[in-house]
């Protein structure tokens, strides 16, 4: 249900209405007396989008306090009077029947999903303040994470080894004092979630489709870990069929939940940059992890420096921006100087080890490829690789293909 309607993306009626609506404040929404269940049912009704719901709130508001408290008794004509089309009105009248609502809630319960609406105190505070906040959020996992200071880490699905390593390291660092939000996509998103899962403040995956469905399928193990130790949330009702238009809408939630958005690697037209644009539109910070300006996979991100993005080499660059809003760093780790501490604990690399390591950062290589790229003899190369394996900086895959850890 509600595949078109939730967001009104392909709904002409939604588009026509959008010019005549405005944002509805929490106070206004509560004043109408609409119940949480009715709001969820509206949200899940096929063909009813975000804008239509805003129209209903605004009409209700104009009729006085608690005007929407009795909508479960509304007939089709009553809904037409609230500004819905004939098609919407019929569908909504049906969705709000007591038996429909019971069925809907039973379905959520059966799938182990929980629901938070815009009407409730538990709704994420920062998300309320975007221009187009979702009315309803479905989730699985630890809801308390949305009340932590959040930082989004996003980037291309086609990440390089360098990008993945930076996403993981920055996320791991950030998760000591902030919750890391991302989109469970391939590449940078997955690396960021992976890095943050280890941290005290964990990670939130915002999905484009329903919370009950893992996309992309290869991230299933990560999905399960996040459901257990973090939080998975979505604006899409369960059973929503995934379609491309949902991804940009999902991105607004990633940006909306977060103090800022860190872009790790992104080509010029990358979808991750939609999240960065939304962050700027919502007056949040954008950070860019530096990369090579000659790499098309970095260039899109780097250009955000021109829009005022801040460089982020590690988590400290992010913490510094929010130092007054963050809890104190955990004592034993020593906060501010993590980088130095980590570097001290990681055994240093010899120049040769480092040069091999840097080749592998680009992409995994076979030993033959490494021989060509490094110019070392097989014997010498083997010794260097062994040393890197012992230092736990690289990993050997079947077929003697090496990649960085």
Three-class SS state of 378: helix
Measured between alpha carbons, how far is residue 299 from residues 68, 99, 254 in Å? Answer: 50, 54, 22
Distance in Å, CB of 375 to its own copies, minimum: 5
Q: Which of 380, 372, 394 is nearest to 161 (CA)?
A: 394
Least distance from C-beta 47 to its own copies, angstroms?
19
Q: Which residues contact 114 (CB under 8 A, 6 or more apart)?
A: 108, 138, 139, 140, 143
Report the nearest approach of its own copies to the CB of residue 351 (Å): 5
We find the least distance from the C-beta atom of residue 64 to its own copies, in angstroms, to be: 39
Nearer to its own copies, 144 or 377 (CB): 377
> Smallest distance from the beta carbon of 352 to its own copies, in angstroms?
6
Spatial separation of the C-alpha atoms in residues 98 and 116, rounded to whole Å: 20
**Which one, 69 or 299, has the nearer CB to its own copies?**
299
Nearer to its own copies, 90 or 296 (CB): 296
Beta-bridge partner residues of 181:
152, 204
Q: How far is the CB of 151 from its own copies (least distance, A)?
A: 17
Query: In the complex with its own copies, which residue's Cβ is closer, 12 or 62?
Result: 12
Return residues touching its own copies (CB under 8 A).
9, 157-158, 162, 165-166, 241-245, 247-248, 267-271, 288-296, 298-299, 302-303, 305-306, 310-311, 313-314, 317, 320, 339, 343, 349, 351-352, 354-358, 361-362, 374-376
Q: Whole-number minimum distance, CB 158 to its own copies, in Å?
A: 6
CB nearer to its own copies: pick between 181 and 288: 288
Q: How many residues does the chain have?
A: 405
* Closer CB to its own copies, 30 or 165, in the complex: 165
Measure CA 225 to chain center.
16
> Do residues 82 and 55 lie in contact, with contact meaning Cβ atoms separated by under 8 Å?
yes
* Rounded least distance, CB 137 to its own copies, Å: 22
Is 51 or 302 the residue whose CB approaches its own copies more closely? 302
Distance CA 334, CA 342 (A): 11
Give the DSSP per-residue string, 227-295.
HHHSEEEESSPTTPPP-TTHHHHHHHHHHHH-SEEEE-S--TT-THHHHHHHHHHTT-EEEE----TT-
Nearer to its own copies, 104 or 361 (CB): 361
User: Cis link prior to 216 (omega < 30° from 0)?
Assistant: yes
Q: List all residues 6 or more positions away from 236 whose beta carbon is below 8 Å from its beta carbon.
A: 6, 138, 207, 208, 209, 210, 211, 246
> Given the complex with its own copies, which of 225 and 317 has the nearer CB atom?
317
DSSP SS3 for 347: coil
CB 45 within 8 A of CB 5: yes
Q: Is 389 within 8 Å of 382 (Cβ atoms)?
A: no
Q: How far is the CB of 292 from its own copies (least distance, A)?
A: 5
């Amino acid at each position: 249900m509600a595949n078109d309607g939730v967001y009104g993306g392909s709904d002409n009626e939604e588009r026509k209405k959008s010019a005549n609506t405005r944002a509805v404040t929490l106070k206004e929404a509560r004043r109408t007396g609409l119940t949480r269940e009715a709001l969820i049912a509206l949200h899940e009704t096929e063909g009813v989008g975000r804008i239509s719901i805003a129209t209903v709130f605004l009409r209700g508001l104009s009729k006085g306090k608690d005007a929407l408290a009795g909508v479960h008794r509304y007939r089709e004509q009553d809904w037409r009077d609230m500004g819905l089309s004939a098609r919407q009105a019929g569908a909504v009248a049906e969705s709000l029947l007591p038996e429909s609502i019971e069925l809907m809630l039973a379905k959520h319960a059966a799938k182990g999903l929980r629901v938070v609406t815009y009407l409730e105190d538990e709704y994420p505070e920062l998300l309320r303040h975007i221009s187009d906040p979702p009315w309803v959020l479905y989730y699985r996992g630890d809801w308390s994470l949305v009340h932590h200071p959040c930082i989004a880490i996003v980037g291309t699905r086609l990440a390089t080894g360098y990008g993945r390593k930076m996403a993981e390291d920055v996320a791991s660092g950030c998760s000591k004092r902030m919750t890391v939000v991302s989109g469970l996509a391939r590449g940078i998103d997955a690396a960021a979630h992976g890095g943050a899962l280890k941290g005290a403040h964990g990670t939130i995956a915002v999905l484009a489709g329903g919370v009950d469905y893992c996309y992309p399928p290869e991230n299933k193990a990560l999905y399960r870990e996040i459901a257990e130790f973090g939080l998975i949330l979505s604006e899409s009702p369960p059973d929503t069929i995934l379609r491309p238009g949902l991804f940009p809408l999902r991105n607004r939630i990633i940006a909306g939940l977060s103090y800022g958005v860190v872009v790790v690697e992104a080509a010029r037209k990358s979808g991750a940059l939609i999240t960065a644009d939304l962050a700027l539109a919502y007056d949040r910070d954008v950070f860019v992890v530096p990369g090579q300006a000659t790499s098309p996979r970095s260039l899109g991100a780097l250009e955000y420096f021109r829009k005022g993005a801040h460089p982020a080499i590690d988590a400290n660059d992010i913490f510094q921006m929010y130092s007054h809003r963050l809890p104190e760093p955990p004592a034993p780790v020593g906060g501010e100087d993590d980088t130095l501490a980590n570097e001290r604990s990681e055994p240093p690399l010899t120049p040769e080890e480092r040069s091999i390591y840097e080749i592998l950062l680009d992409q995994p290589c076979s030993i033959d490829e490494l021989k060509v790229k490094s110019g070392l003899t097989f014997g010498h190369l083997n010794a260097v690789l062994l040393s890197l394996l012992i230092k736990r900086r690289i990993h050997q895959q079947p077929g003697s293909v090496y990649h960085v850890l």
